[in-house]
Amino acid sequence: MANHGGGAAVAQIPTSFGHELRACLRCRLVKTYDQFRESGCENCPFFQMEDDHERVVESTTPNFTGIISVMDPTRSWAARWLRIGKFVPGCYTLAVSEALPNDLQNICEEERVPYVPPKRV
Amino acid sequence: MARRRDDYAEEEDDVDYEDYDGVDGEDGEADDDYDGSGKTKRKRSRSELIDDYAEEDDDDEEEDEDDEDYGGAAGGGKRRRKAASQFFDDEALVDDDDDELEDDEDREEDFIVDDIRDEDDRRIHRRPLLPREDEREEDVEEIERRIQERYSKSLHVEYDEEATDVEQQALLPSIRDSKLWMVKCAIGREREIAVSLMQKCIDKGSELRIRSAIAIDHLKNYIYIEADKEAHVKQAIKGMRSIYPGRIMLVPIKEMTDVLSAESKSLDISRDTWVRVKIGTYNGDLAKVVDVDNVRQRVTVKVIPRIDLQALANKLEGREVPKKKGFKPPARFMSINEARYSCYKIFLFVSFILTCFPPKVDFFIYLTRDLSIRVETKRDPSSGDSFYKIEGMMFKDGFLYKNFSLKSLRTQNVKPTFDELEKFRQSGETGDGDMSCLSTLVANRKKGHFMKGDRVVVVKGDLQNLRGWVEKVEEDSVHIKPNEKGLPKTLAISDKDLCKYFRTGNHVKVVSGASEGATGMVVSVEGHMVNIVSDTTKELSRVFADNIVESSEITSGVTRIGDYELHDLVLLEDNSFGLIIRVLSDAFQVLKGVPECPEVALVMLRDIKQKIFMKIFATDQYKNTVSVKDVVKILEGPFRGKQGPVEHIYKGVLFIHDRHHLEHTGFICVTSKSCMVVGGSRSNGDRDGNTLISRFAHLRTPSCATQYPMRPPRGGPGPINNFGGRNGGGGRGLVGAAVKIRVGHYKGSKGRVVEVKGSTVRVELESQMKVVTVERSYISDNVNVSTPFRETSRYGMGSETPMPPRTPLHPCMTPLRDSMVSSPV
């Protein structure tokens, strides 16, 4: 869906479905651990996951529920509802179980990117 | 240039009225310089006004800048820095009102989440302003770019602020949004399908008209696809296996948001939480979390081991272990010595063999090492504790530390029972362990157990220690009426903060838990735990305050299971015999028939072979005959000095009931040779009184008093029969009772019970001169025979009161007794 700017960049699609699937705690993008390690998170490049294995573990989690493949985030109601309408197309999760650690939250603030911690039931 | 300077000088005054304090001097000037056309206003900082020379310098700089600007060269950082104020200048210059309006509009538009397209519109809207400065088209582009950047950024920022508050309302699906379609697919493949749709979309590009695909974890067999038209959905899934195009359903708008509401249950398990194992040999066992590994989704827990040492040894020896199906080794704490010594035998055997054929030394050692259950001491690097390692399993303090995957443990709704917690505590935990156990117990206890009228006390919060009565129970809160004056009539308190309150001396009944159905009296209260003395068994037990209610009901407990009743003499599997002294819910406590050393065994129903009915006699030390119901006194042995009626005789062993004896509910087992009959001929009033009382006491307690007046008239023949035909602890007041046969051949006839023999009864019919044998169930007795013994009443009602009515019976008894004694059974 390369209708407008942002369509060219699409997040990597997870290559397998086992335990290595992880979700980024800020943008909820779902990829495998190796994919995060390789190319980081497309929506959160400031986390710099490519550099550091620890970063990947800190900023992503294997505990998540549900998967939503967003082909067109800007025109998708579901993506808007889930607040991922501004992110690149890709596979996301509906909810993650934990919140971003504090130091990474500070990075988000510095970069002036929004972060909403998950709602606790 | 000179002209310019003059212009600036003119405008100095104007500057003063501008409130541009915050602006840097250079900035102000630069802005002005930028506006080639309308140089009516000029914003200058104070410093600029004060120092002319400085002005000049600034002017020069400005000029340079201007030149640069006019030249179209990239201003770089400076320009960027002035971007904001410069922009404001533009608008201020052109038209104040319009600018403000524009600004407002921009702001408003920010509040509404629009497509990026709207942003384009805005830009177009603004365009008419900028071209006025047609001299600097490149600048216009620069401005444009900057505006775009700034707005896109601010959009983000503003978006975030409202995201939490306004979003849910603002983003509800409208009819203009794409619809959600529910599509049936192959089970277990939902995630895969969602992702392959993504892949397909990347490959096909804009052909695919669907917007998103959603796979919900707990919804099997279906995925959701977001698209404007069903046709789009059909086209998207064409050619895909695992999706069934026949079943596409539209989700109503009202339900769209429910689809996406995922509850994020916290999957975090922390240390020291209680879990239950779901698989394997430890299925259903309580376990305590020791370590959590979130990365690999595994948890280390400690659990009471179920190890079959024998099988382990067999396996190590290489012997074939026939795997017993469904065999679960009992949960026992692992004793390291046991493990070590179980192999010791093997070791000895092997060493014996090897001494016969002396091999080389190293071979010997190798052999023994192979065969033994290796018990290694290993240190866990992370915690520093030392473990014993046997066959790959880690033990410590008797517990087994085992690694489970998160999925095989149940974390929700784990309610450890009191017994399980006791077992965990047994391994020598300190008081802290107690506290943590109890606190989790308290936290986990089931809610909704308060009833109206319960007396409660507040245990947490500001109102701690406030007592009151429950008025109303609601979902989460309980309304209580406090005891204190000065407080409102009812207070609503969360039920977690409340605890039932009992005072010592209250009579209570246990309604849930292990000792359900028991009644007793409260002797002490310790927070959530209450110590109760049971009515039936007189023993102290600890229960949760939540499990008991105040009640005046006095239960007599269970007294018979199957064929066996309390105080029956039974023959056990291993040919030993004993007296049932206590009936539990599924087993019996039996006092073994071993004189001198009292031994109590817990026996299951199936382990009892039969009841012993034999009516035998024994001889005491002085060669007197002892039979059942005789009062004897113990002359030798540890129970010397005790006396009481004989309940059973078997194989020369007497079971005597001494109500002053505190152990085993008063039963003593002795050889008949070590006793002496007290009152050799049984005309002892006291003894009679005892037995009579005991018999009457077995009846319904409240009606006991009323029974007495009834008894004496019929007492003549009645008690006589009582003495005679009593066998093996049965009877219970039935003998001599007037009954009516309600089933069988003699249905309808009345009679009197002559003797009781196990489950049959011999009844002397009133209408005929016949004694017939009928099943006990065939007769309806006026007396409630099923009411079991009540030791309390036995103790309570002394033999004094009923003495008088019985006195006239004495003369009758002696002669009849003898005749009865000799009657065959």
**Gap between the terminal Cα atoms of chain A:** 36
Work out the average pLDDT over B444-471. 76
B117 vs B558, which has greater pLDDT? B558
Q: With an 8 Å Cβ cutoff, is B238 touching chain A?
A: no
Question: Any idea which residue has 């540890």 for tokens?
Answer: B638
Label residues B610-634 b or e (16+ Cβ within 10 Å = b): ebbeebeebebbeebebbbbbbbbb
- B175: closest chain A residue by CA: A77
Q: Which of the residue ranges A74-78, A116-120, B143-147, B347-351 would you say has the lowest mean pLDDT?
A: B347-351
Q: Do A67 and B214 count as a contact with CB atoms less than 8 A apart?
A: yes
B258 vs B685, which has greater pLDDT? B258
Determine phi and psi for B262, rounding to 5 degrees.
-100, 130
Q: Do A66 and B256 count as a contact with CB atoms less than 8 A apart?
A: no
Work out the average pLDDT over B15-28. 42
Q: Which of the residue ranges A78-87, B350-359, B411-420, B719-728 would you say has the lowest mean pLDDT?
A: B719-728
Sheet holding B498-500, edge to edge: B491-494, B477-482, B467-473, B455-458, B498-500
B669 vs B367, which has greater pLDDT? B669
Work out the average pLDDT over B453-462. 82
Residues of B in contact with A96 (CB under 8 A): 264
Q: What confidence tier does B209 reach under pLDDT thresholds 50, 70, 90?
A: confident
Q: With an 8 Å Cβ cutoff, is A111 touching chain B?
A: no
Q: Which of B611, B614, B618, B812 is nearest to B721 (CA)?
A: B812
Q: What confidence tier does B152 reach under pLDDT thresholds 50, 70, 90?
A: low
Q: With an 8 Å Cβ cutoff, is B115 touching chain A?
A: yes
Q: With an 8 Å Cβ cutoff, is A65 touching chain B?
A: yes
pLDDT on residue B100:
46
pLDDT on residue B153:
55
Residues of B in contact with A20 (CB under 8 A): none
B543, B529 contact by CB (below 8 A): yes
Q: What confidence tier does B143 reach under pLDDT thresholds 50, 70, 90?
A: confident
pLDDT above 70: percentage of residues in chain B: 53
Residues of A in contact with B210 (CB under 8 A): 71
- B188: closest chain A residue by CA: A17
Domain residues of chain A, as ranges?
21-111
Q: Which of B678, B581, B596, B673 is nearest to B639 (CA)?
A: B596
Exposed / middle / buried, residue B248 (Cβ in 10 Å: 0-12, 13-18, 19+): middle
Residues 622-651 of B with CB under 8 A from A: none
Work out the average pLDDT over B575-591. 80
Q: With an 8 Å Cβ cutoff, is A72 touching chain B?
A: yes
A40 vs B780, which has greater pLDDT? A40
Give whole-number Cα distances, B660 to A96, B402, B640, in Å.
Answer: 69, 51, 13
pLDDT on residue B42:
47
ipTM attached to this prediction: 0.90
Is pLDDT above 50 for B40? no
pLDDT on residue B517:
76
Is pLDDT above 70 for B164? no
Work out the average pLDDT over B25-37. 42
Q: How close, in Å, is residue A112 to chain B by CA atoms?
A: 7
Instruction: Tell me which DSSP letter residue A88 carries.
Output: P
Residues of B in contact with A68 (CB under 8 A): 194, 212-215, 260
Residues of B in contact with A72 (CB under 8 A): 211-212
Residue B324 neighbours by CB under 8 Å, 6+ apart? none
Q: Give kind and range of the element (H or E) at residue B526.
A: strand B519-526
pLDDT on residue B724:
38
Residue A27 neighbours by CB under 8 Å, 6+ apart? A41, A43, A44, A84, A87, A92
B413 vs A28, which has greater pLDDT? A28
Q: With an 8 Å Cβ cutoff, is A68 touching chain B?
A: yes
Preferred mutation among A4, A10, A20, A68 to probe B, highest tally of B CBs within 10 A: A68
How many interface pairs between A and B have CB atoms less than 8 angstroms apart? 145
pLDDT on residue B213:
92
Which of A57, A62, A82 is facing B260, going by the closest CB pair? Answer: A82
* Mean pLDDT score across all residues of chain B: 67
pLDDT on residue B32:
42
Instruction: Tell me which DSSP letter residue B71 carries.
Output: H
Residues of A in contact with B214 (CB under 8 A): 66-69, 78, 94
Q: How close, in Å, is residue A43 to chain B by CA atoms?
A: 13
Q: How close, in Å, is residue B496 to chain A by CA atoms?
A: 19
B778 vs B84, which has greater pLDDT? B778
B222, B182 contact by CB (below 8 A): yes
**How are beta strands B560-561 and B564-565 bridged, if at all?**
antiparallel
pLDDT on residue B141:
80
pLDDT on residue B397:
74
Q: How close, in Å, is residue A96 to chain B by CA atoms?
A: 7
Q: With an 8 Å Cβ cutoff, is B118 touching chain A?
A: no
Is pLDDT above 50 for B313? yes
Q: Which two tokens stand for residue B419?
A: 């017994």
Please give the CATH number for the structural domain made up of A21-111.
3.30.40.210
Exposed / middle / buried, residue A70 (Cβ in 10 Å: 0-12, 13-18, 19+): buried
pLDDT, tens only, B726-762: 443 344 457 788 888 888 888 888 888 888 887 888 8
CA atoms within 13 A on the CB side of B376: 10
Determine phi and psi for B387, rounding to 5 degrees.
-115, 160
Give whole-number Cα distances, B735 to A87, B129, B422, B770, in Å.
Answer: 91, 118, 46, 16
Q: Which two tokens stand for residue B71?
A: 């030249």
pLDDT, tens only, B607-647: 788 887 777 888 888 888 888 888 888 888 888 888 888 88
pLDDT on residue B185:
92
Amino acid identity for residue B697 in this structure: A
B103-109 own/partner pairs: CB under 8 Å, 24+ apart:
B106/B151
Preferred mutation among B159, B212, B235, B242 to probe A, highest tally of A CBs within 10 A: B212
Work out the average pLDDT over B461-466. 83
pLDDT on residue B330:
65
pLDDT, tens only, B490-528: 888 887 777 888 888 888 888 777 677 778 888 888 877
pLDDT, tens only, B56-102: 444 444 444 444 444 444 444 444 444 455 555 555 555 444 444 44
Q: Which of the residue ranges B204-208, B265-269, B676-680 would you say has the lowest mean pLDDT?
A: B265-269
Is pLDDT above 70 for A10? yes
Residues 25-54 of A with CB under 8 A from B: none
pLDDT on residue B647:
85
Residues of B in contact with A87 (CB under 8 A): none
The Cα–Cα gap between A94 and A113 comes to 19
Q: Which of the residue ranges A24-28, B67-71, B213-217, B412-416 would you say has the lowest mean pLDDT?
A: B67-71
Q: Which of B497, B490, B536, B491 is nearest to B515 (CA)?
A: B536
Preferred mutation among A1, A69, A121 to probe B, highest tally of B CBs within 10 A: A69
Q: Do B201 and A1 count as a contact with CB atoms less than 8 A apart?
A: yes
Residue B365 neighbours by CB under 8 Å, 6+ apart? none
Determine phi and psi for A30, rounding to 5 degrees.
-110, 125
Residue B264 neighbours by CB under 8 Å, 6+ apart? A65, A95, A96, A97, A118, A119, A120, A121
pLDDT, tens only, A33-74: 989 988 888 888 888 888 888 888 888 888 888 899 999 888
Q: Which two tokens stand for residue B57?
A: 């310098």
